[in-house]
């Protein structure tokens, strides 16, 4: 029988279904007690003081940027090796994304390249770092923890501190990841998670902004921004019986519903198991692909624990078959794969948005050689072996 190995499957069973049905049978389906429960649970899991559930990882980034007060004439530095959301969230604030290249082994933003870019392209002025070219001001950095492996937060924090830049972390891939003994999320600034359907834990669509430390004022503002900038959300108005409200900020409509949160509450309980199973799948790939010179398997730094959202392999540039041909051959054998990421500056919108050519040699090189193999908690050892064996056969056929 022909194998069929999807790229990703959510880890959902009857427990999630029962909790969602319970909410649907109740009287309150939008943001309410389930969201509160979900937030409390995530605070405990991550060991942080603030957790604000929102409608997507994208919304988490947009709200965090809006509350940061960036505006037209500002720039935010990030990686082009990310999903469009990271750069679009910046653009939606009237702000311009600028990019630093990535590390060739982890795919994460390279702090050395951030420093180099700042030194070469910006001037220190009394009102901040001003671009010599565009005259705009660099205000912040958004690192992305690619594939679930934490970025180099020590040097990034040091650079941000030195130049007075804010940090917002894009942790869409990184729930459960640990960097130098600290869980991703435990930061004094916003860290944005995604609970999209293919993420390590899911609420269908959903996201969360978390922070640690004394950030009550910022939390209040972030919460208001997630529901139109309303002074009182629906549950508060319901509690007091007074229907009046005020719009305090130009917020978004980005709250999570109780239906989604009910799913999240069960998923969050499974996080330790999900993390263990994903890491087990990654270890099997490492085992079955060890010693295959034609590919490079993911490199996890010894002080990082990866959430293993992706298993990105790199093909040797000397291979005869192209990356795309290999993807097609894998598909013919019933193996679904993906590519992470099409660099931001390769998309047609961004090509027209950025008037001048952007050159990021490492980003472009890794993209041309990357394939993301299937990874999800339910993937069995035999399936991983089948993927690895098939991949080796296809590569063998395509050798020069």
Ligand X SMILES: Cc1ncc(COP(=O)(O)O)c(C=O)c1O
- Residue (121 or 364) nearer to ligand X, CB: 364
Number of residues counted as binding ligand X (CB under 6 A): 14
Contacting range for ligand X; rule: CB under 6 A; set: 81-89, 135-143, 246-254, 299-307? 81-89
Taking the CB of residue 28, how many other CB atoms lie within 10 A of it? 15
Q: How far is the CB of 315 from ligand X (least distance, A)?
A: 22
Closest CA to 167 of 192, 148, 150: 192
Q: How far is the CB of 73 from ligand X (least distance, A)?
A: 25
Cis peptide before 341, with omega less than 30 degrees from 0? Answer: yes
Taking the CB of residue 242, how many other CB atoms lie within 10 A of it? 10
Count CA within 13 A, CB hemisphere, residue 4: 2
Measured between alpha carbons, how far is 301 from 284 in angstroms, rounded to an integer?
18
Tokens 């993911």 label which residue? 298
Closest CA to 210 of 181, 160, 174: 174
Q: Among 8, 31, 41, 56, which residue interacts with ligand X (rule: CB under 6 A)? A: 56
List, as own/partner pairs, every contact residues 214-217 make where C-beta atoms lie below 8 angstroms and the sequence separation is at least 24, other chains included.
214/49, 215/49, 215/50, 215/188
- Residue (194 or 306) nearer to ligand X, CB: 194
172 interacts with ligand X by CB under 6 A: yes
144 interacts with ligand X by CB under 6 A: yes
Q: How far is the CB of 85 from ligand X (least distance, A)?
A: 4
- Residue (85 or 255) nearer to ligand X, CB: 85
Handedness of CA 90, 91, 95, 100 (dihedral sign): positive
- Residue (130 or 190) nearer to ligand X, CB: 190
Ranges within 109-138 binding ligand X (CB under 6 A):
none
Contacting range for ligand X; rule: CB under 6 A; set: 51-59, 231-239, 300-308, 365-373? 51-59
Q: Among 41, 45, 48, 57, which residue interacts with ligand X (rule: CB under 6 A)? A: 57
Ranges within 193-212 binding ligand X (CB under 6 A):
194, 196, 207
C-alpha distances (whole Å) from 82 to each of 113, 301, 319, 339 are 16, 20, 25, 11
Ranges within 85-114 binding ligand X (CB under 6 A):
85-86
- Residue (223 or 340) nearer to ligand X, CB: 340
83 interacts with ligand X by CB under 6 A: yes
- Residue (136 or 308) nearer to ligand X, CB: 308
Taking the CB of residue 166, how many other CB atoms lie within 10 A of it? 17
Residues 6+ apart with CB under 8 A from 355: none
Contacting range for ligand X; rule: CB under 6 A; set: 7-15, 92-100, 168-176, 352-360? 168-176
- Residue (30 or 338) nearer to ligand X, CB: 338
Closest CA to 250 of 84, 93, 37, 85: 93
Measured between alpha carbons, how far is 144 from 45 in angstroms, rounded to an integer?
21
- Residue (64 or 85) nearer to ligand X, CB: 85
Q: How far is the CB of 280 from ligand X (least distance, A)?
A: 22
Contact positions toward ligand X, by CB under 6 A? 56-58, 82-83, 85-86, 144, 170, 172-173, 194, 196, 207
């Amino acid at each position: 029988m022909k194998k069929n190995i999807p790229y990703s499957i959510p880890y959902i069973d009857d427990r999630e279904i029962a909790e969602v049905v319970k909410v649907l049978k109740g009287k309150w389906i939008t943001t309410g007690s389930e969201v509160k429960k979900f937030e409390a649970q995530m605070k405990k899991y991550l060991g942080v003081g603030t957790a604000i559930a929102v409608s997507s990882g994208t919304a988490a980034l947009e709200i965090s940027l809006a509350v940061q007060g960036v505006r037209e004439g500002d720039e935010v530095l990030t990686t082009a090796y990310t999903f469009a959301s990271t750069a679009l969230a910046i653009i939606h604030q009237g702000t311009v994304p600028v990019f630093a290249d990535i590390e060739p082994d982890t795919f994460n933003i390279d702090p050395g390249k951030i420093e180099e870019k700042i030194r070469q392209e910006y001037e220190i002025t009394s009102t901040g770092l001003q671009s010599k070219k565009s005259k705009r001001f660099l205000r912040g950095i958004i690192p992305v923890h690619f594939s679930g492996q934490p970025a180099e937060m020590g040097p990034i924090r040091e650079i941000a501190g030195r130049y007075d830049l804010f940090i917002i972390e894009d942790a869409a891939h990184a729930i459960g990841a640990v960097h130098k003994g600290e869980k991703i999320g435990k930061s004094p600034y916003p860290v944005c998670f995604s609970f999209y359907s293919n993420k390590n834990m899911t609420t269908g669509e959903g996201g969360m902004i978390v922070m640690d430390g004394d950030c009550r004022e910022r939390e209040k503002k972030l919460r208001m921004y997630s529901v139109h900038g309303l002074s009182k959300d629906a549950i508060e108005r319901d509690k007091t019986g007074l229907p009046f409200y005020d719009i305090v900020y130009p917020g978004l409509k980005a709250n999570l519903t109780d239906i989604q949160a009910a799913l999240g509450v069960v998923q969050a309980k499974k996080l330790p198991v999900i993390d263990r199973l994903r890491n087990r799948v990654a270890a099997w790939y490492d085992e079955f692909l060890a010693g295959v010179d034609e590919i490079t398997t993911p490199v996890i730094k010894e002080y990082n624990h990866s959430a293993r959202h992706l298993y990105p392999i790199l093909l040797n540039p000397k291979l005869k078959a192209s990356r795309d041909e290999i993807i097609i051959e894998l598909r013919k054998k019933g193996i679904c794969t993906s590519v992470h990421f099409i660099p931001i500056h390769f998309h047609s919108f961004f090509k027209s948005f950025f008037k001048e050519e952007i050159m990021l040699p490492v980003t472009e090189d890794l993209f041309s050689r990357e394939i993301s193999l299937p990874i999800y908690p339910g993937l069995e050892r035999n399936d991983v072996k089948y993927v690895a064996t098939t991949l080796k056969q296809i590569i063998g056929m395509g050798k020069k």
